[in-house]
Structure 1
């Protein structure tokens, strides 16, 4: 049984209780060695991982899983706040106050009697207020606004590559760097595919990797033009592949070694048909 003296003080507010638990983990006297080693930078992979797991739980409609993953993501916020608090920079209260102030300031249609007929109007107001805030910061002696390319470089630095590509694509298009129509985007896709084929045929792996990136970036632009989410699309493909693959494995007793491509393709198509039939059955 744990020594009661080592337990964090109980707090009726669950958020404050979590703060106390994290503070105990970060206590140099008897805290957790792993937690004590963490910095803002070392925690970045965990922030991204937990955010992805939250998204996965949402996509699967699993409330129990979602609650757990949101807790893991909240832990990351509290950990970062604790690290900053130890260095007397800011704390969890400052984070909460800052985002509350921002939400109130950028929602005048809710908190200040302004009008907003629809979500497009809300977004326009948000962008206008954000631009005014940036101008005010510059007037107060803050550094002048950097070029869009510099802003985007900072914005996407911590994002997964595909999400970063969509961010860049949207902002560049809004600034006027855009095709005239979707046909132009498709022409670019075919151009980049041809260049990828040539790079692969040349045997230059570094060049092929660059060209593969160009193909993926252009496909992200197709997604933007069509109003679809490439990350969600790829995640769905991953799930479908694993579902079909598990059925192929089951049909072969878990042993794929030595099987011909014709047999594997036949079982793959059979798995697809089974999944389609299950989805269309009255019981589903």
Structure 2
């Protein structure tokens, strides 16, 4: 690639990013910075990285462009802040982060930035995986153990997403039921084992069996081409919506209602949302 000469619009973007970098640097200034920002470490900022990522996803799904813009800003702040904390510790800088991802994109797209020709999406994916293997110091011609690949998902993805990814890759490798009936049998087996674990009173055993049951439910979702994360998120949203409707018609705090009265309000809220198509 040649020397980068920004257009006037690109120069404005770079100026805005530079302003953000300077604001974060000021917040982290030992002399006149913010005590909260100065107290942060890469580890203490982890919850905010996760929270802002999910809030960005929620904004994108809402289709609200102003919310998307705001949440992307919050997410960008986490990148800049993590980089500033690392820079203060003499580890790396935002420049290192930006240059690293740029070089990675160029390296992984030789069909765009180089002379490699690809005819199909499958060829593109094959090249991508080979380049990734070389980056990790692996021989692209040597098949890596499946367990090594799957362990990365367990470490780096939220649990539901990790389970779905692990089950997809395991199924692609042949570790799969012949029909969905086998998955349902496994579900019933795990449900029974979970009930037995609950009866045992052993907390560790209970959590283990609950995990097995949830993993099987995620496999059922995979067989029926359903997104378990989206499904659970939808349930969470509907629960809150129903609760809002209940509170809107309640004439006293919900905790002062009997269980039977709450059930009546709950069913009314469900019917209202159903009629509105939500």
Match of 1:115 among 107, 113, 118: 118
- Flag the 1:233–1:198 CA change in 2: closer, same or farther, 3 A: same
Q: Which moved more, 1:207-216 or 1:237-246?
A: 207-216
Quick check: 1:109–1:116 contact (8 Å CA) kept in 2? no
Deviations 1:121-168 (A, max 9, x none): 54333223323433xx257xxxx9985435544543353222222233
Match of 1:70 among 64, 69, 72: 72
CA-CA distance at 1:260 after TM superposition: 4.1
Structure-2 residue corresponding to 1:53: 55
Quick check: 1:81–1:91 contact (8 Å CA) kept in 2? yes
Specify every segment of 5 or more residues in structure 1 that has no aligned partner in the other structure, as ranges. 1-10
SS in 2 for 1:157: helix
- TM-score, normalized by length of structure 2? 0.82
- Flag the 1:239–1:225 CA change in 2: closer, same or farther, 3 A: same
Deviations 1:176-234 (A, max 9, x none): 33323322222211111111112223333332222111111111222223332211111
Match of 2:204 among 200, 203, 206: 206
Q: Give the length in aligned residue pairs.
A: 263
Structure-2 residue corresponding to 1:195: 193
Deviations 1:10-64 (A, max 9, x none): x971111111111111121221222122222221111111111111111222222
SS in 2 for 1:163: helix
- Flag the 1:83–1:145 CA change in 2: closer, same or farther, 3 A: farther
CA-CA distance at 1:257 after TM superposition: 3.3
- Flag the 1:69–1:101 CA change in 2: closer, same or farther, 3 A: same
CA-CA distance at 1:87 after TM superposition: 3.2
Structure-1 residue corresponding to 2:42: 40
SS in 1 for 2:45: helix
